[in-house]
Structure 1
């Protein structure tokens, strides 16, 4: 099969939360396949450093949890620069506490960062995609979209919501030519998981629990993102693609 199906030359991709970790890796991977990258984050200094490292042409420093700020930034970019063809909703956070002690304010922050941001940016970008009759939206879900483990029940709830919001996006917007899908990473060595990576007992458990027997590397998410961003996935919609070393396939 021709590799032209996966070529993103001439496409412009916005990746939220892309100054580090998974978002940075996905932005780098999309750029290598020809896409013009728009980096996003709340920390302007980190964002500028990431842009220098990647040679990215555009940055948008908005808070994805602020609906009005998102709408203003996206509309201005579309008017001043041009179309956003691909959106990767990657912004997210974690908070680990037993559920009976989980702070209410932390729960609200998780909802805003992990769910409201997907709605905010997804809606703002989709309004322009719908007018053009084409677009790709990729939401970053999690292995916790399907599974739970102790101490992160609210996070699990938010990632379950991301999976179902993705299905809802596809249901509403596929008729307009949009493909809306999600990538659900398993356990990857990222800043978000730094405490777990540094815990020998957790790493030992993970290596025994995961059929692949190891932590994932962020670069191993790039192929799934390219597929869902490209013409190769033109009839894939509302799908949650698990990239997890087999953890959801095995007891």
Structure 2
């Protein structure tokens, strides 16, 4: 089985597990849902320097750009005047999206192949001369009980969800270091703050992304590179076999967010360089992802680290 088959196999597992797993996830999420939703409060952790960065003319690589959150991010970057570089395996979709977004640069890339990741970076630098941002969004789901995990299939998933993220950081960091600045946004999952039955193997892969992000933020800080982590709730995309796409399978009390909503949060992270954004469960908060300021900026509120800020 090759890397292109991982998500197809996993989607079959999602369908076979059915509504029971969705309810299990809902029960696990319910343990923290109240804390997330009380008065619409959002946890804010240490943020990058200065005010929100203008994305006009910024060169930003988006992995997993052929659909879902990645595609939505590319569209919003284009709308913001940025120059999105589209990376994904599905060349036909990338070509179509690139034709629609006239400033986009599609580069078909298998993120499980470090050589292709390096080529993606080299082609981007050759075309634009710099890389201002990286959105590590490519990933696949894995929904089954731990005793049912196929180790071979899971190893392939880790190649995408974890090693792919690491490879992209390794390839882009030297370019950003030479520029004296850069922003990296890694897309994780809200499942990493839970222990959800039926999703443990997937959550473990994203927990590794959390740790890579935290360490990379410290290691690259002196080079002017901000590493941010975005943790979506459930999202209505093709992910996981499209189980939440129509909103009908959302666990009780939860709402499937649109990919555009998550993409707005990703653009916020690219602008501010803040350390971590946990997207709250429940209904979308339209004003939440648009906050342009970072603590310490002129005119910004003085907010200590990890303070819950109502209405952010």
- Sort the TM-score into its range (normalised by shorter chain): 0.7 to 0.9
Q: How has the CA–CA distance of structure 1 residues 108 and 180 changed in structure 2, closer, same or farther, with 3 Å as cutoff?
A: same
Instruction: Report if the CA contact (8 A) 2:184-2:228 is conserved.
Output: yes
Relative distance call for 1:51 and 1:118 in structure 2 (3 A) is: same
* Structure 1 residues not aligned, in runs of 5+: none
Give the alignment partner of residue 116 of structure 2, picking from 66, 69, 83.
69
Match of 1:216 in 2: 257
Q: How far apart in 1 are the matches of 2:242 and 2:114?
A: 31
Higher CA-based Rg: 2
Q: CA deviation at 1:89?
A: 0.3
- Paired residues, number: 234
Instruction: Tell me the SS of whatever aligns to 1:219.
Output: helix
Tell me the residue number matched to 1:124.
171
Residue-by-residue CA offset, 1:63-87 (whole Å, 9 max, x unaligned)? 1111122113312331343211010
The 2-side partners of 1:28 and 1:195 are apart by 20
Change (3 A) 1:93 1:102: same
Match for residue 243 of structure 1? 279
Residue in structure 1 matched with residue 199 of structure 2 by the alignment = 152
Matched, 1:183 2:230: yes
CA deviations over 1:15-69 (Å, ceiling 9, x no partner) = 0010100000011112211111111111211211121233343111121111122
Shift in CA distance, 82/28, structure 1 to aligned 2, threshold 3 Å? same
* Counterpart-to-counterpart distance in 1, 2:214 and 2:277: 12
SS of the equivalent of 1:91 reads coil
What SS class does the counterpart of residue 197 from structure 1 fall into?
coil
1:199 positional shift: 9.1
Which residue, out of 250, 261, 268, partners 1:227?
268
Given the superposition, is the C-alpha separation of residues 193 and 53 from structure 1 closer, same or farther in structure 2, using an over 3 Å criterion? farther
Q: CA 1:92–1:132 in structure 2 vs 1: closer, same or farther (change >3 Å)?
A: same
Structure 1 distance, partners of 2:257, 2:167, is 29
Q: Pick 1 or 2: higher relative contact order, CA cutoff 8 A, min separation 6.
A: 2
From 30, 33, 57, the counterpart of 2:104: 57
**CA RMSD, 1 decimal:** 2.2
Deviation at 1:207, TM superposition (A): 3.7
- Cα distance change, pair 194–55 in 1 and its aligned pair in 2 (3 A): farther
Q: Structure 2 stretches of 5 or more lacking a match?
A: 1-50, 284-307
Q: Whose helix proportion is higher, 1 or 2?
A: 1
Give the aligned partner of residue 33 of structure 2: none
Is the 8 Å Cα contact of residues 30 and 222 (structure 1) preserved in structure 2? no
Q: How high is the TM-score relative to the length of structure 2?
A: 0.70
Task: Report the CA distance shift for 1:76/1:39 in structure 2 as closer, same or farther (over 3 A).
Answer: closer
Aligned match of 1:172: 219
Q: Which residue of 1 aligns with 2:130?
A: 83
- Alpha-carbon separation, structure 2, partners of 1:87 and 1:186: 21
| Offset, 1:109 | 1.4
Give TM-score, length-normalised by structure 1: 0.86
